[in-house]
Amino acid sequence: MMLSLNLNSDLPLSSFKEASRLAESAGYSRIWIGESIGFGHSFPLLAVAAEVTRRIQIGAGILSPQLNRCYHIFRAFQTLREVYGDRFAVALAPGDAQEVRSAGATAARPVEVVLECVKELKRWREEKGWNLPVYVGASGPRLIAEGSTTADGVLLNYVHPEYLGWAIRQMKRKTITAAYGPALLLPDPANEPLLRAAATIVLAGANEAFLREFGLTLQAREAREAMVEKLPNVADQCSLDTFVLAGGLTELGIMLRKLSDRGIDEVVLATPFCRNPEAIRTVASIL
């Protein structure tokens, strides 16, 4: 199973560079760099990560083709590949509908827009002879199902074995499957509040069909209300344990083995894990 590291542009640039170097030297398979309205755009950071590393694969995950025209995504990766070599990947997802609208873009037909862009990127990739894996980032049954037949892989916004089992059952065909979620090597008092906040964001933005399946609709509503009201004790609004990979080294090792046994091909340790350089080094030893 591949072990990868998520980085976002909320990190100071010096910390971003350090984490990128550490990911490569420690043996992680990929660096995934996310896009968010509240952060700087991921394209320049893909170049920063590539500039300070030499071999590690670097993925843009996720990118919204509702915020970025598919043609411009292709051209960005064309430039990155010319400068830094054939070591990039991309994961596409609709993005949060409210954020999309706040940026002045249309949030209509989100699944169709993503799948159309997947097909276009794969067509351009094949014409150019590139090695550019194209994933969909998915949490709902429709995009999971259609993405499994259209993309090279599916990046799931879940890390709990039960949730992942449900997601895999939605697939029309078995494909490369990655689990992506907030992670932390404990104890880490400085970053534990960030872990709770990240998990709250995941729960608040979860797909409605998923929430109904697992009886989490009320908890998700409470999480959204807590975020809007900026409550300091957001972790008390709902149970977040199933949305994170967190524990001591032995506990994390057990969690990762369970995901491997479930058929997960790649696990992405998402923010705030990257904020602890020692954790980046230590957890790499598990696999």
* Crossing angle of the two packed helices 70-84 and 42-51, in degrees rounded to 10: 10
Residue 226 pLDDT:
81
Token pair 């799948």 in the structure block, residue? 115
Which CATH architecture best describes the domain 2-284? Alpha-Beta Barrel (3.20)
- Extents of the domains making up the chain: 2-284
Q: What is the mean pLDDT of each run of 10 residues along the chain (287 residues)?
A: 93 95 97 83 94 97 89 96 96 78 71 96 95 95 97 96 96 95 96 92 92 93 80 55 95 95 96 96 88
Residue 235 pLDDT:
47
For 157, which DSSP code?
Answer: S
Residue 159 pLDDT:
96
Count other Cβ atoms within 10 Å, centred on residue 72: 11
pTM, full prediction? 0.93
> What is the distance between the alpha carbons of residues 287 and 269, in angstroms, rounded to a whole number?
13
Instruction: Using DSSP bridges, classify how beta strands 266-270 and 153-156 pair: parallel, antiparallel or unpaired.
Output: unpaired
> What is the distance between the alpha carbons of residues 223 and 239, in angstroms, rounded to a whole number?
10
Residue 35 pLDDT:
82
Task: Report CA 54 to chain centroid distance, whole Å.
Answer: 22
Nearest-CA neighbor of 147 among 192, 125, 178, 124? 178
DSSP line for 66-125: TTS-HHHHHHHHHHHHHHH-S-EEEEE----HHHHHHTT---SSHHHHHHHHHHHHHHHH
Residue 133 Ramachandran class (φ > 0 left, ψ -120 to 50 alpha, else beta): beta
Residue 75 pLDDT:
95
Residue 237 pLDDT:
47
> What is the distance between the alpha carbons of residues 265 and 153, in angstroms, rounded to a whole number?
10
Phi, psi of 205, deg, nearest 5: -100, 10
Phi, psi of 64, deg, nearest 5: -100, 120
Cα radius of gyration rounded to whole Å, the chain: 18
Q: Where are the beta strands (DSSP E) in 67-175?
A: 88-92, 134-138, 153-156
